[in-house]
C-alpha cells in the first residue's frame, strides 16, 4: 500500500492506497490501521482500496474542529469527495463501521454498498460493552482476540506488553488515537445512530466474529433488525480484531455485496 | 504563610483485605462497603473537626469534590461548606473546588459559590479543578479530549456571570443561554481562585494569565513534588509573570505531629498505612482516560512525577514514607524543620495541611492538629517577609460579620408585633 496525503476542508488527511478494481473505502477502528495491515493487503487483491486515517491516527495531524459524530461523518464524506470517488463501496471496522453507517444514513442516495465489520454505535443494556478506555494494555488481548496468545503477538509484534519503551510509545499513541475515538465512543458509544439506521438504502452486509467479546454477537442481530434487508455473515473462531485474525474470511464475505 | 486545614473525608471502614479483594477505591468501588447509618457519624465528626480547626488559627478550612470514591466521600463540597459557613467565623472557606466542566450549565457553580460567599461574609476561596480523569471522565462521563475546552468555557462563563452587571446571552460551544443574570452575586470581586493541577503546562499558563494560585495536590509529598513545582516556577519566569510571589502556588502535604518522633509513629502509623494501602488503591486503568491529558503534557515527562512509586504505595514502611517526604511526621521541632524545607524548596505560600489521615480517630486528629497550630505554625508564619502583604490570592471578608442565631427572643417578638403577650 502507498501512503499518501490529501487536503480536506479541515485538515490534511493521510491515507493508504493500493490495488486494482472497484473503489472501496475502508474506515479503520479505534485501534487504527497501518500500511502493513493484513486486511488492506487482502482487499487490495480485489479492490482499489483507499484507507483514510482519522485525524490524530498514525502520523496524521490532529483536528480540534472535529468534536462530535456529525463533524466526523461529514469530514469523512469530505475525504471521499477529495479522493474524487462517487459511490464507492463503503466498508468499516468497529468505530469505522459506525462512521460508515452514519454516512450511509445521512446521505442514503450516495451509498449503494455497505460492509460493516462488527460496527460500534449501538448500545444494548443487557449486553454492556466493556470499557476499553479504562483497560490496561495487558488486559486488551483477552477482549479483542479469539486466540488471545496469537493476538497478543499480533498486537505488539512480539514485544512484551510491560516493556517500558513500548509502553511509552503506546501511551502517546493511545492518547492521540483513543482521545479522538473517545469523541464518539466514550463513555457509551451511542450517538443516536439507532434512530437513523432506517434511512440506509444501501445493500448492507454485517460481518461478525462468533467470539467477539468487545461487541458481542447480540449486537449483530440488533443491527440486522435495524437495517432493512441487511445480511449477516458470522465468522467462526474470530474475535473483535478479526481484521487481523481472519482477513480472508472478511474479503470473501464482502464479495456478497457484488 | 497561609495554612488551610484540609479534609478529604475518607471512609474509615474499608476492610483489612480491601486491597486484595477489591479492584479500586475509586469509580467502581463496591457500594456495599458504604453504610449510610454509620456515615451519619462520620460526616458529622469530620465537620466538627473542620470547625475545631477553624478555632485554632488556621487561615482556612478546606474541602474538595470527588465522586464514587472511598477516600473522599464529598461529592458536593458546597453542601459541607454551607454547613461550615454557619458555624465558623473569620476562617476562610476553601472549596478546592468545584469541577466546573461537570455542570450543565456551570452558572450553577457561579450561583452556589456566590451564595457561599454571601452567607460566609466574603470568606470563600474558590477552586476550579479540571478534575481527575476518574471523577470527570469515568464517573461523570465527560469526553476526555473535550474536557479541557469545556472547562475553559465554563470558567469564562462563571467569571462573566460574576462580574457583568447586565443580563447577557452566552453562545458557547457547550452552553447556549439566552439570559445569564445570576442572583445573588458574590461579595468578593471576584473570590480568590486556586487551581489544583497535576503538572499540565496548560494549567501553569492558565494560572499565570489569570493571577490564580496554582495548587499541586499530591499525596506523594514535597520531595517528589520538587520537579513538578520547579516546572511551574520555570514557566512563571519564562512567561515573565510580574513577580514570583510564593502565594502564586500551593501544596498539599500529609502532616502528623506528636510530642516526639517515636510517639508520632506509635500514634499515627496505622492510619497512614490505611491511607496509603487502602485509600490510594486505584485501578491503573482509571488513572488517565486517553485524550484527557494533552500530548504536550505527556511529552514533558510530568507524568513520572504524577505516577505512584514503582511498586505502588503498599511496600512503603513508616520509615520510607517519612524519610521520602510522603508524610511529614514527628515532634513539633521535626515537623517545623521539614515544613521549612518544603516551603522554601517549593516556594509555596499556601499549605493545604492534610492532618486527618485514613481511619484516624478524632482524638488523635485533634491532638496532632492542636500541636501543629500551637507549636509549628507560629514559627513558619514569617517566612517570605517580602510578600507578607500579598493578599491577592486570599479571601477578603467583610469587616462586620453577622453571627448566626441573631433572632430576637420569642417574648420580644410578641411584644414587637402585637404589643401584648
Binary contact (A182, B144; C-beta < 8 A): yes
pLDDT of residue B308: 53
Q: What is the mean pLDDT of residues A8-28?
A: 98
ipTM for the whole complex: 0.93
pLDDT of residue B219: 85
**What pLDDT band is residue B201 in, cutting at 50, 70 and 90?**
confident
Question: Which grid cell is B93?
Answer: 472557606
pLDDT of residue B152: 96
pLDDT of residue B302: 46
pLDDT of residue B338: 98
Q: A182 in contact with B at a CB cutoff of 8 Å?
A: yes
Q: What is the mean pLDDT of residues B185-198?
A: 95
Decide if pLDDT at B394 tops 60: yes
Binary contact (B291, A172; C-beta < 8 A): no
Query: For residue B145, what is the nearest residue in chain A, using CA coordinates?
Result: A179
The residue to which cell 506528636 is assigned: B258
The residue to which cell 505560600 is assigned: B349
Higher-confidence residue of A173 and B55: namely B55
Strands B168-171 and B176-180, bridge-based pairing: antiparallel
**What pLDDT band is residue B305 in, cutting at 50, 70 and 90?**
very low
* Facing A174 at nearest CB: one of B145, B149, B290: B290
pTM: 0.94
The DSSP code sequence of B95-123 is E----GGGSSSTHHHHHHHHHHHHHTTS-
Decide if pLDDT at B54 tops 80: yes
- Residue-wise pLDDT tens digits, B16-47: 999 999 999 999 999 999 999 999 999 999 99
Q: Percent of chain B scored above 70 by pLDDT?
A: 95
> Distance (Å) from the C-alpha of residue B20 to the closest C-alpha of chain A?
18
Q: A136 in contact with B at a CB cutoff of 8 Å?
A: yes
Sheet holding A47-52, edge to edge: A2-6, A13-18, A47-52, A22-27, A89-93, A113-117, A203-209, A231-235
Question: Which grid cell is A14?
Answer: 493521510
Binary contact (B299, A172; C-beta < 8 A): yes
> Distance (Å) from the C-alpha of residue B29 to the closest C-alpha of chain A?
14
Q: What is the mean pLDDT of residues A61-87?
A: 97
Rounded to the nearest 5°, which phi and psi values hold at B124? -80, 130
Chain B partners of A139 at a C-beta cutoff of 8 Å? 285
Query: For residue A185, what is the nearest residue in chain B, using CA coordinates?
Result: B143
**What pLDDT band is residue B310 in, cutting at 50, 70 and 90?**
low
- Residue-wise pLDDT tens digits, B338-375: 999 999 999 999 999 999 999 999 999 999 999 999 99
Q: A48 in contact with B at a CB cutoff of 8 Å?
A: no
Decide if pLDDT at A12 tops 70: yes
Residue B259 neighbours by CB under 8 Å, 6+ apart: B331, B371
Binary contact (B291, A139; C-beta < 8 A): no
Q: What is the mean pLDDT of residues B214-237?
A: 92
Q: What is the mean pLDDT of residues B182-197?
A: 96
Chain A partners of B283 at a C-beta cutoff of 8 Å? 134
Higher-confidence residue of B234 and B421: namely B234
Q: What is the mean pLDDT of residues A4-15?
A: 98
Out of A155-164, A248-257, B237-246, B293-302, least confident range: B293-302
* Cβ-based interface (< 8 Å): residues of B facing A: 27, 137-138, 141, 143-146, 149, 173, 283-286, 288-293, 295, 298-299, 303
Mean pLDDT of chain A, nearest integer: 95
Q: What is the mean pLDDT of residues A11-31?
A: 98
Query: For residue A182, what is the nearest residue in chain B, using CA coordinates?
Result: B143
Q: Percent of chain B scored above 90 by pLDDT?
A: 85
- Residue-wise pLDDT tens digits, A151-197: 988 887 777 777 777 777 778 888 899 999 999 999 999 999 999 99
Residues 137 to 156 of A: which have CB under 8 A from any B CB?
A: 139
**B24, B26, B291, B299, best to mutate vs chain A, most A CBs in 10 Å:** B291
- Residue-wise pLDDT tens digits, B114-139: 999 999 999 999 999 989 999 999 99
Mean pLDDT of chain B, nearest integer: 94
Query: For residue A188, what is the nearest residue in chain B, using CA coordinates?
Result: B141
Between CA A258 and CA B302 the distance in angstroms is: 53
Decide if pLDDT at B304 tops 50: no
Query: For residue A186, what is the nearest residue in chain B, using CA coordinates?
Result: B143
> Distance (Å) from the C-alpha of residue A90 to the closest C-alpha of chain B?
27
pLDDT of residue A159: 78
For residue B137, CA distances in Å to A136, B64, B99, B287, B303 come to 16, 17, 11, 10, 18
Chain B partners of A70 at a C-beta cutoff of 8 Å? none
Chain A partners of B303 at a C-beta cutoff of 8 Å? 171
Give the DSSP H or E segment for B283: none
Long-range contacts at A154-163 (CB < 8 A, ≥ 24 apart): A154/A241, A154/A244, A154/A245, A155/A241, A161/A137, A162/A137, A162/A138
pLDDT of residue A155: 80
**What pLDDT band is residue B288 in, cutting at 50, 70 and 90?**
confident
pLDDT of residue B306: 41
Amino acid at each position: 500500500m502507498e501512503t499518501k496525503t490529501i487536503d480536506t476542508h479541515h485538515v490534511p488527511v493521510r491515507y493508504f492506497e493500493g490495488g486494482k478494481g472497484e473503489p472501496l473505502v475502508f474506515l479503520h477502528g479505534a485501534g487504527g490501521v497501518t500500511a502493513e495491515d493484513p486486511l488492506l493487503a487482502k482487499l487490495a487483491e480485489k479492490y482499489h482500496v483507499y484507507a483514510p486515517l482519522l485525524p490524530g491516527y498514525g502520523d496524521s495531524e490532529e483536528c480540534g474542529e472535529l468534536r462530535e459524530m456529525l463533524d466526523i461523518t461529514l469530514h469523512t464524506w469530505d475525504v471521499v469527495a477529495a479522493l474524487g470517488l462517487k459511490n464507492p463501496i463503503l466498508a468499516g471496522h468497529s468505530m469505522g463501521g459506525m462512521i460508515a453507517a452514519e454516512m450511509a444514513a445521512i446521505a442514503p442516495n450516495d451509498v449503494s454498498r455497505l460492509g460493516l465489520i462488527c460496527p460500534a454505535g449501538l448500545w444494548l443494556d443487557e449486553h454492556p460493552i466493556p470499557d476499553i478506555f479504562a483497560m490496561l494494555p495487558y488486559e486488551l488481548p483477552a477482549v479483542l482476540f479469539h486466540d488471545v496468545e496469537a493476538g497478543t503477538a499480533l498486537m505488539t509484534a512480539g514485544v512484551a506488553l510491560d516493556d517500558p519503551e513500548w509502553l511509552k510509545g503506546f501511551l502517546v499513541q493511545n492518547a492521540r488515537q483513543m482521545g479522538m475515538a473517545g469523541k464518539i465512543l466514550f463513555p457509551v458509544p451511542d450517538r443516536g445512530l439507532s434512530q437513523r439506521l432506517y434511512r440506509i438504502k444501501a445493500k448492507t452486509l454485517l460481518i461478525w466474529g462468533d467470539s467477539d467479546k468487545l461487541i458481542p454477537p447480540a449486537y449483530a442481530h440488533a443491527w440486522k433488525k435495524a437495517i432493512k434487508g441487511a445480511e449477516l455473515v458470522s465468522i467462526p473462531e474470530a474475535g473483535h480484531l478479526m481484521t487481523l485474525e481472519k482477513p480472508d474470511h472478511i474479503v470473501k464475505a464482502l464479495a456478497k455485496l457484488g | 504563610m497561609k495554612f488551610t486545614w484540609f479534609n478529604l473525608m475518607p471512609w474509615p471502614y474499608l476492610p483489612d483485605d480491601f486491597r486484595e479483594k477489591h479492584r479500586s477505591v475509586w469509580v467502581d468501588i463496591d457500594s456495599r462497603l458504604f453504610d449510610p447509618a454509620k456515615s451519619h457519624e462520620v460526616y458529622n465528626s469530620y465537620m466538627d473537626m473542620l470547625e475545631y480547626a477553624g478555632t485554632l488559627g488556621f487561615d482556612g478550612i478546606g474541602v474538595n469534590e470527588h465522586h464514587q470514591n472511598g477516600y473522599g466521600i464529598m461529592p458536593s463540597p458546597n453542601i459541607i461548606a454551607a454547613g461550615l459557613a454557619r458555624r465558623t467565623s473569620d476562617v476562610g472557606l476553601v472549596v478546592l473546588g468545584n469541577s466546573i466542566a461537570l455542570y450543565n450549565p456551570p452558572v450553577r457553580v457561579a450561583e452556589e459559590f456566590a451564595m457561599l460567599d454571601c452567607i460566609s461574609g466574603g470568606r470563600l476561596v474558590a477552586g476550579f479543578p479540571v478534575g481527575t480523569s476518574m471523577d470527570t471522565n469515568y464517573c461523570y462521563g465527560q469526553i476526555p479530549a473535550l474536557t479541557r475546552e469545556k472547562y475553559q468555557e465554563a470558567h469564562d462563563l462563571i467569571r462573566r456571570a460574576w462580574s457583568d452587571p447586565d443580563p447577557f446571552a452566552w453562545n458557547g460551544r457547550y452552553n447556549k443561554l439566552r439570559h445569564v443574570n445570576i442572583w445573588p452575586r458574590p461579595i468578593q470581586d471576584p473570590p480568590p481562585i486556586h487551581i489544583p493541577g497535576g503538572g499540565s503546562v496548560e494549567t501553569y499558563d492558565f494560572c499565570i494569565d489569570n493571577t490564580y494560585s496554582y495548587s499541586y495536590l499530591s499525596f506523594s509529598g514535597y520531595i517528589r513534588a520538587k520537579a513538578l513545582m520547579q516546572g511551574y516556577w520555570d514557566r512563571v519566569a519564562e512567561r515573565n509573570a510580574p513577580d514570583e510571589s510564593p502565594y502564586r502556588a500551593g501544596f498539599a502535604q500529609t502532616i502528623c505531629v506528636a510530642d516526639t518522633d517515636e510517639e508520632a509513629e506509635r500514634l499515627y502509623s496505622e492510619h497512614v498505612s490505611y491511607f496509603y494501602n487502602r485509600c490510594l488503591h486505584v485501578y491503573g486503568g482509571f488513572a488517565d482516560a486517553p485524550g484527557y491529558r494533552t500530548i504536550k503534557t505527556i511529552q514533558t515527562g510530568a507524568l513520572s512525577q504524577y505516577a505512584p512509586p514503582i511498586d505502588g504505595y503498599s511496600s512503603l514502611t513508616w520509615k520510607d514514607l517519612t524519610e521520602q517526604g510522603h508524610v511529614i511526621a514527628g515532634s513539633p521541632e521535626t515537623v517545623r524543620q521539614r515544613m521549612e524545607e518544603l516551603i522554601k524548596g517549593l516556594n509555596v505560600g499556601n499549605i493545604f495541611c492534610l492532618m486527618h489521615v485514613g481511619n484516624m480517630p478524632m482524638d488523635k486528629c485533634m491532638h496532632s492538629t492542636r500541636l501543629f497550630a500551637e507549636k509549628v505554625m507560629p514559627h513558619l508564619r514569617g517566612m517570605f517577609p517580602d510578600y507578607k502583604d500579598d493578599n491577592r490570592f486570599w479571601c477578603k471578608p467583610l469587616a462586620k460579620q453577622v453571627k448566626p442565631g441573631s433572632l430576637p427572643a420569642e417574648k420580644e417578638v410578641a411584644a414587637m408585633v402585637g404589643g401584648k403577650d
